[in-house]
Structure 1
Amino acid sequence: MRRRRNALADDEGGQFKTNKREQEADLDITPMIDVTFLLLIYFLVKSTMDPSEALDLPKAKYGDGINGNQSTAITIKAGRNEIASILLDDGREVDVDDVRRHVEEQVAAGVNKVMIQAEREISHGDVQNVARAIAEIEGVEFFIAVEEKEP
């Protein structure tokens, strides 16, 4: 007695026909994929990024120093009520728009390097706002100051 396989022999030419059970066993996963993508989109839209979250940055291991006399220094300090205050190299407290104007004046005078110094308590979002304003100016290189690694 021969065992029957999932395919039956056809008398015409020895070709095989598939069994009906095998055809019915197919599973359409298209709706499951659609639901997966909908859930992915939902969670991406509902998630929020908190740019005001403070980061504890490590000390620098590698890096090149820049000359402070040949660059514009911008300092971001923690102010009252968790509002950061931005100070220029001459000590004036300014906002982001004033930083942009000051850096444009410095670039016109031939100083195209800008160093951003921020206290550890400053949020990454505040540093990023200042960096964006500076990066929009053509011909500027900006650096973020870090503490040197202790020997």
Structure 2
Amino acid sequence: MAEETHYSEDAITRHRSHSGEDDMDLTPMVDVTFLLLIFFMITAAFALQKSLEVPPVKEDEAAASQSVDDLEKDSIVVRVDEDNVFWISGPSAPEEQRATSVQEMIIKLRKVREESSTGAAKMLVQANGDARHEFVVAALDAGTGVGMEEIRLMSYEEGDFDF
């Protein structure tokens, strides 16, 4: 005959209470995981950077490089000085126009482009070595915004040119 084992009620309650302590509540861990997932999805959207495409220099173009005077004759020139002030001139408007803000520079650049008798679609951005990078990029972006087909960038130091 099979032996019957009798458990006391105390042993049964101890066994039940002990098994209840082994269960972990995973809800806080799942909540934290979803919060981290949402955080990284949102911040990844802001990580996209705007870039400028720079074509490689061809060997025949490097040998036949134009002088600064030749570039200025048939281009609209935007100069960014060491004080981050924009100076705009063009083939039809040889005197420089001063612009102290990015918005003012865009307006004057658009006006010089429209008034240009040659329909200049070339732009030369001359940036002083002490000019802030954001103002130089703003000038490049403004050229793209007003429809310039060819934009060149050049840097100069104090005393390189007589403006």
TM-score, with structure 1 as normaliser: 0.51
- The CA deviation at 1:74 is 1.3
Instruction: Report the counterpart of residue 55 of structure 1 in structure 2.
Output: none
CA-based RMSD: 3.8
Q: Which runs of 5+ in 1 are unaligned?
A: 1-23, 48-60
Instruction: Report the counterpart of residue 86 of structure 1 in structure 2.
Output: 86
Instruction: Report the counterpart of residue 77 of structure 1 in structure 2.
Output: 81
Alignment of 1:48-127 (within 5 A): 65-66=65-66, 67-68=70-71, 69-79=73-83, 84-89=84-89, 90-94=95-99, 95-96=104-105, 97-106=107-116, 109-127=118-136
Whichever residue aligns with residue 133 of structure 1, its letter is A
Contact 2:124–2:154 at 8 Å: present in 1 too?
Answer: yes
Distance 1:127 1:143 in 2: 12
Q: Which structure has more helix as a fraction of its residues?
A: 2
* CA 111–43 in structure 1, closer or farther in 2 if over 3 Å, else same: closer
- The CA deviation at 1:126 is 1.0
Contact 2:78–2:123 at 8 Å: present in 1 too?
Answer: yes
Deviates more, 1:97-106 or 1:30-39: 30-39
1:72-128 CA-to-partner distances (Å, cap 9, x unmatched) read: 22111122xxxx21112333323312122113323x523211000111121121122
Distance 1:101 1:142 in 2: 17
Distance 1:111 1:44 in 2: 40
Whichever residue aligns with residue 100 of structure 1, its letter is R
Alignment of 1:2-81 (within 5 A): 31-40=31-40, 65-66=65-66, 67-68=70-71, 69-79=73-83
**What fraction of aligned residue pairs are identical, expressed as a percent?**
13
Q: Is it true that 1:140 corresponds to 2:145 in the alignment?
A: no
Paired residue secondary structure (1:134):
helix
TM-score, with structure 2 as normaliser: 0.48
Q: Which runs of 5+ in 2 are unaligned?
A: 1-22, 48-55, 90-94, 157-163
- The CA deviation at 1:44 is 6.8
Paired residue secondary structure (1:74):
strand
Whichever residue aligns with residue 93 of structure 1, its letter is R
Bigger relative contact order, structure 1 or 2 (CA pairs below 8 A, ≥6 apart): 1
* CA 117–34 in structure 1, closer or farther in 2 if over 3 Å, else same: same
Instruction: Report the counterpart of residue 5 of structure 1 in structure 2.
Output: none
* CA 33–105 in structure 1, closer or farther in 2 if over 3 Å, else same: farther
